[in-house]
Amino acid sequence: MVYLIWVPREHFVQHGVPYYGPISYNFITIHLVFNSCRVLVGLYSGSISIWNYQTKTEEKSFKLSESPVRSAKFIARENWVIAASDDKYIRVCSYETGQKISEFEEHTDYIRSLAVHPFLPYVVSASDDNVLKLWDWKKGWACLKTFQGHSHYVMSVAFNPKDPSTFASASLDGTSKIWSVDSSAPGLTLEGHLKGVNCADYFISNDKEYLISGSDDYTAKVWDYHSKNSVQTLEGHGNNVTAVCSHPELPIIITASEDSTVKIWDNVTYRLQTTLNFDLGRIWSIGYKKGSSRVAFGCDKGFVIVKINIQAVKQD
């Protein structure tokens, strides 16, 4: 079984729309920070919100933009938050004070996703202008490289935890691509989904590296990306798969969908273990924390944090 830690229960009305929580009525992106009890939430209203999941209180809220914030991440080693929104800006601020550190506009369309390098001062952004860009904050947020190769919106980007000189992207052109920070051209392309790809994440099973992708064809695929082969298709969602995650501490794959459900799969057998529905509308993002079995989900009407008991899940 999956044990619920918290769902905001208060029912508010803003602009005539019911929602959960005291800030906004659409939660788009969510991120947990390692070694902390903080949750970062990016909102359709253009704000970001920082919550303490132990005290179940909102610690801070900053208005960044008049446009939706589609991606927000902690950069914990700098005490920063970085966020990207539909006004094409990337903004960096202190998550203690909200003070602006930097703000820049370099993409020509909505920015969908950000990935922070685990130890170098790099951030990669993915945009509806079909490109990805590599930024170095030690060089005044200089753009070091532009990555071209997708023919439609680039929906997500993720660094490879095993080899962070490489990263993966997912695009509505129906492909996922693997890139190196040293080259503007993709190293390889994964094709097989019937519609656009919304998300991609790396994972390791039995000491072998894989990529998982989620698509508008209602499926997720597991790839042996070195051979470019799809080794498994995960079927069962009734709408677009919006987020995928391989938990770093647990032997599971998690998929989330616009059908308002989360599905948990065994990452070796690929069997479905359980399905969750939080009654919070469509699910847009997944956040996890190293060293913890907690997982967070950002939904239309709020966010939820669950603690996964893997033995109970297997018995479901």
The predicted-structure confidence for 181-232, as pLDDT tens digits, reads as follows 999 999 999 999 999 999 999 998 888 999 999 999 999 999 999 999 999 9
Looking at residue 307, what is its pLDDT? 85
Looking at residue 311, what is its pLDDT? 66
Q: What is the pTM of this model?
A: 0.90
More confident position, 313 or 282: 282
Query: How far are the Cα atoms of 46, 59, 128, 139 from residue 153, in angstroms, in the given order?
Result: 21, 34, 4, 28
**pLDDT confidence tier of residue 316, bands split at 50, 70 and 90:** low
Looking at residue 313, what is its pLDDT? 58
Q: What is the mean pLDDT of the chain?
A: 88
Map tokens 């057998």 to a residue. 269
Domain 2-315 class in CATH: mainly beta
Q: Around Cβ 45, how many Cβ atoms within 10 Å?
A: 23
More confident position, 83 or 312: 83
Query: How far are the Cα atoms of 61, 79, 122, 136 from residue 99, in angstroms, in the given order?
Result: 12, 11, 21, 20
pLDDT per residue over 104-153, tens digit each?
998 999 999 999 999 999 999 999 999 999 999 999 999 999 999 999 99
Work out the average pLDDT over 162-183: 98
Q: Is the pLDDT of residue 19 over 70?
A: no
Q: Around Cβ 97, how many Cβ atoms within 10 Å?
A: 10
Looking at residue 28, what is its pLDDT? 61
**pLDDT confidence tier of residue 3, bands split at 50, 70 and 90:** very low
pLDDT per residue over 58-74, tens digit each?
899 999 999 999 999 99
